[in-house]
Amino acid sequence: MKILVAVKRVIDYNVQVRVKEDGTGVVTDNVKMSTNPPDDNAVEEAVKIKESGKGKEIVAVTIGEDKAQETVRKALAVGADRGIHVKSEGILEPLAVSKILQKIVEKEKPDLVFMGKQAIDDDCNQTGQMLAALLNWPQATFASKINVKDKSLEVTREVDEGLETIEVNTPAIVTCDLRLNEPRYASLPNIMKAKKKPLEQINASDLGVDIKSRIEQIKVEEPPKRKAGIKVANVAELVQKLKNEAKVI
Amino acid sequence: MSREVMEYDVVIVGGGPSGLATAIKLKQLKSDLNVCILEKGSEIGAHILSGNVFETRALDELIPNWKELNSPIKTKVTKEKFLFLGKTKSLSWPTWLLPKVQQNHKNYIISLANLCRWLAEQAEGLGVEIFPGFPASEILYHEDGSVKGVATQDMGLDKEGNKKDSFESGMELHAKVTVFAEGCRGHLGKELIKKFELDKGKDPQQYGIGFKEIWEIKDNNHQEGMVMHTAGWPLDKNTYGGSFIYHAENKQVFLGYVIGLDYKNPHLSPFDEFQRFKTHPAIKKIIEGGKRISYGARALIEGGLQSLPKMFMPGALLVGCDAGTLNMPKIKGSHTAMKSGMIAAETIIDYINDKKNLSNYEDKFKKSWVYKELHAARNVKPSFSWGLFLAIIFTGIDQILFRGKLPFTLKHKHADHDTLKLAKDMPKIDYPKPDNIITFDKTSSVYLTGTNHADNQPVHLKLKNPDLPIKYTLDKYDEPAQRYCPVGVYEVQVENNVSKFVINSQNCIHCKTCDIKEPSQNITWVTPEGGGGPKYGNM
């Protein structure tokens, strides 16, 4: 099987994100960036499938400015075979990303497309689903276990009620949950080797898709500061406050 | 267990100003040299924290056209102030009466982290391989005792040191010359200084702890290019320290405080002194209405020439503050660190090309302007052991009248871990509670550093004797680790009348203060898993 893995460059999860003073977005200058954490799980799973002998080739793809290449290089360092960088400036909405990925899928003809269930920057959780719709492929979202069969996948999904196991025919889209696996570290020799693996560059504008924004962002602001808690004397007072002040019971 | 090995001409440990300058100079002199830099931070700059008012002298020599290369050196110093603070009053000291070394009109206000990111780009452009997220954790030696290289940290060990599924063995990097550029109190540098007795005949090294916050302040309080320093309150006259307030671009001020780690009162909390300092009317009026956006802390070198160890040994060199090249009265170390790296690079080229001994480093260093600077500066810090008042008079005579040319050298008498007096003999200090507007607690501060260490890994703050904190240090010194750590890694918790010493190592910001100040030298800082530690932006 050939697996395409989509990876996104986001602000590192340890960084305290700061809203720009003019409310046009968040500060990204000189901020530590990393691969979106569930995308690491997607890469890891693809590498595991390849190591088990069921996968043939892994292609890692990212979309974004020049520095987004770092995420592809990281995927290459942990086991992807080659990379694609689709160059584009500015923020792309999930629909635009799915349209670009659709073009890459048509070109590469993978059996599986893996990606994280959502990106930790916009938290949209839409790209996998939209790509499935555009390609008219089956989708398995929030995967926490994947069992590769001959021409299908058995996927355990993390759903609100617990775990759901489904079977999808390939080709298919799988979006990965953090529980799927523990991503490996990139070793120093593998980082060196990754620098020599092929990385193809494509301009988003050359793909002939409409990636214009559909959403107008009006303002970005910080969530309100949490107020200090209070101590209540007894259960009766607690119930009274929950009922009359917080109005939650 | 055999590890994979990679061979380099030169391996540099640490991607700060000294390591990066070494790498750039090496490639400029000999472009076919294989040079790599190991950096423990998750990216270059992530562990860099500095004031910083930058003197461009070393950079002018290294990259003369830096102005054309979009360097992050933009804000020229336009105005200077020096204040002596009393509890509520302040006295402005005329700038013309300051020693020349403290005048900054030719310098720039910069973020050293951003400068390092830019230097890393220049280095990579010259073909230097940079590996962030890979701490060098071990020194390797040849059979004859000379340095062979370093090994990187194993990844994927659990708390007990067992291999997890994700285990990835560290690897060995062998080099003709290994350059140690870890910064102040590098843990490998410390081992080398001991093993090769590099500090023999030198005074004990002196350290300080520096805090820095970045504030976004109101437009009308901001004067881009303004540099202000203070001495005095809230420290008593026997404690060495002072503040800096630098008005950078984008309405930001870099606000910081440095306290000598030779302080005597174990009840003193450097963090709380810094917080309290901000409540002084002269300071509060600058940041009032603004917002704190960054916080961090790092130990720094204060010992100067008397404490500077020998910087060469078979197979290796120490550069920058891994040795201790900071110029204390100038309150600057970036330019001297860079220059020391450039001299190291020249020495290495002579060594590789013409088999000239690495001991040439010392001769070259002594002939350089760094040595002249440090020599002129040498008597300022030790004079502060006499108290602020006498030190100012002496420094005036030494620096203004004699320009550092007095015919004697004052000594540093004690190592910083030896200076604490017993807790029962020293006054307790009652620090005001944080207001969460101007002053903050450690918990909300550590959050801004972005520090993190993957959980379930061995604790990287090692106790030589695990019973000592409770059985000895708590009793004698009221366990000062609770106070000198700038992020509250160390806590004494009491449960059922039993005291327990807790190490929250995941909060560590790699400042090294515990390794320096612990009175029995019971705490040893070692490298955690790669990529751990703070994620400083423009610090």
Q: Which residues 281-320 of B have a C-beta within 8 angstroms of A?
A: 293
pLDDT by residue (tens digit) across A48-61? Answer: 999 999 999 999 99
Cα B511 from Cα B298, distance rounded (Å):
4
How far does B538 lie from chain A, in Å, by closest CA?
A: 6
pLDDT by residue (tens digit) across B13-68? Answer: 999 999 999 999 999 999 999 999 999 999 999 999 999 999 999 999 999 999 99
Q: Which residues 21-50 of A have a C-beta within 8 angstroms of B?
A: 21, 29-32, 34
Residue that is written with structure tokens 């890469």 in the block: A43
Q: Give the range with max mean pLDDT: A232-236, B78-82, B343-347, B380-384.
A: B343-347
Cis geometry, peptide bond prior to residue B528 (ω within 30 degrees of 0): no
Per-chain mean pLDDT for chain A: 94
> Does a structural domain hold residue A239?
yes
Cα B305 from Cα B118, distance rounded (Å):
30
Q: Give the range with max mean pLDDT: B101-110, B383-392, B496-505.
A: B496-505
What is the mean predicted confidence (pLDDT) over B425-438? 95
* Domain span at A112: 2-244
A15: chain B residues, CB-CB within 8 Å: 450, 535, 537
A187: chain B residues, CB-CB within 8 Å: 4, 168-169, 171
Higher model confidence: residue B522 or residue B399?
B522
B299 residue type, one letter: A
Q: Which residues 157-196 of A have a C-beta within 8 angstroms of B?
A: 182-185, 187-189, 191-192
Residue A227 has what pLDDT? 80
CATH superfamily membership of B5-66+113-202+309-377:
FAD/NAD(P)-binding domain (3.50.50.60)
Residue B165 pLDDT more than 80? yes
Q: Does B37 touch chain A (CB under 8 A)?
A: no
With an 8 Å Cβ cutoff, are B450 and A15 in contact? yes
CB nearest to A30's CB, from B114, B152, B165: B114
Residue B373 has what pLDDT? 93
A18: chain B residues, CB-CB within 8 Å: 293
Q: Which of B243, B217, B239 is nearest to B230 (CA)?
A: B243
B164: chain A residues, CB-CB within 8 Å: 182
CB nearest to A32's CB, from B4, B6, B42: B42
Q: How many CB atoms lie within 10 A of CB A37?
A: 15
What residues are paired with B32 via a beta bridge? none
pLDDT by residue (tens digit) across B308-338? Answer: 999 999 999 999 999 999 999 899 999 999 9
Q: Which of A106, A134, A125, A216 is nearest to A176 (CA)?
A: A125
> Does a structural domain hold residue A152?
yes
Q: How many CB atoms lie within 10 A of CB A19?
A: 15
Residue B396 has what pLDDT? 80
With an 8 Å Cβ cutoff, are B111 and A18 in contact? no
Nearest CA in chain B to A31: B537
Q: Which residues 447-476 of B have a C-beta within 8 angstroms of A?
A: 447-448, 450-452
DSSP string, B173-191: EEEEEEEE---TT-HHHHH
CATH, residue A105 = 3.40.50.620
Is the separation of the CB atoms in B84 and B232 below 8 Å?
A: yes
Is the separation of the CB atoms in B18 and B319 below 8 Å?
A: yes
Q: Which of A208, A210, A212 is nearest to A107 (CA)?
A: A208
Phi and psi torsions of B164, nearest 5°:
-90, 175
CA A132 to each of CA A55, A138, A141, A164: distance values in angstroms, whole numbers, following the listed order: 21, 6, 10, 19
pTM for the model: 0.92
CA B414 to each of CA A9, B328, B409: distance values in angstroms, whole numbers, following the listed order: 50, 17, 16
> Does a structural domain hold residue A43?
yes
Phi and psi torsions of A106, nearest 5°:
-60, -35
ipTM of the complex: 0.84
- Of all residues in chain B, the percent with pLDDT exceeding 70 is 100
What is the mean predicted confidence (pLDDT) over B420-438? 95
> Does a structural domain hold residue A25?
yes
CB nearest to A15's CB, from B113, B166, B535: B535
B452: chain A residues, CB-CB within 8 Å: 14
Confidence of residue B95 (pLDDT cuts 50, 70, 90): confident
Pairing of strands A199-203, A82-87: parallel
Give the DSSP H or E segment for A147. strand A139-148
Flag the least confident range among B311-320, B376-385, B489-498: B376-385
What is the mean predicted confidence (pLDDT) over B402-426? 91
A14: chain B residues, CB-CB within 8 Å: 450-452, 535
Cα B197 from Cα B324, distance rounded (Å):
15
Q: Which residues of B433-467 are buried (b: 16+ CB within 10 A; e: fewer)?
A: ebeeebbbebeebbebbbbbbeeebbebbeeeeee
- SS3 state of residue B242: strand
CB nearest to A14's CB, from B169, B216, B535: B535
Nearest CA in chain A to B7: A189
Residue B104 has what pLDDT? 86
With an 8 Å Cβ cutoff, are B131 and A188 in contact? yes
With an 8 Å Cβ cutoff, are B156 and A185 in contact? yes
Q: Does A224 touch chain B (CB under 8 A)?
A: no
> Does a structural domain hold residue A249?
no
CA A90 to each of CA A24, A25, A33, A63, A99: distance values in angstroms, whole numbers, following the listed order: 13, 12, 15, 10, 16
Six-digit token string for B515: 């390794």
Q: Does A244 touch chain B (CB under 8 A)?
A: no
Q: Does A232 touch chain B (CB under 8 A)?
A: no
> Which of B168, B294, B446 to mutate to test binding with chain A, by most A CBs within 10 Å of its CB?
B168
Give me the residue spans of the domains in chain B: 5-66+113-202+309-377
CB nearest to B293's CB, from A12, A18, A32: A18
Residue B386 pLDDT more than 90? no
Confidence of residue B395 (pLDDT cuts 50, 70, 90): confident
How far does A247 lie from chain B, in Å, by closest CA?
A: 29
Q: Which of B297, B266, B271, B521 is nearest to B415 (CA)?
A: B521
Residue B1 has what pLDDT? 59
Please give the span between the terminal C-alpha atoms of chain B, in angstroms, as a whole number. 40
Per-chain mean pLDDT for chain B: 94
Residue B404 has what pLDDT? 83
How far does A107 lie from chain B, in Å, by closest CA?
A: 33
**Which parts of chain A have pLDDT scores under 50?**
none
Q: What secondary structure letter does DSSP report for B234?
A: T
With an 8 Å Cβ cutoff, are A30 and B447 in contact? no
Q: How many CB atoms lie within 10 A of CB A146?
A: 20
Flag the least confident range among A14-18, A177-181, B7-11, B151-155: A14-18
What is the number of CB-based contacts under 8 A between chain A and chain B? 59
Structural domain count, chain A:
1
With an 8 Å Cβ cutoff, are B131 and A182 in contact? no
> Does a structural domain hold residue A18?
yes
Phi and psi torsions of A159, nearest 5°:
-115, 170
How far does B17 lie from chain A, in Å, by closest CA?
A: 17
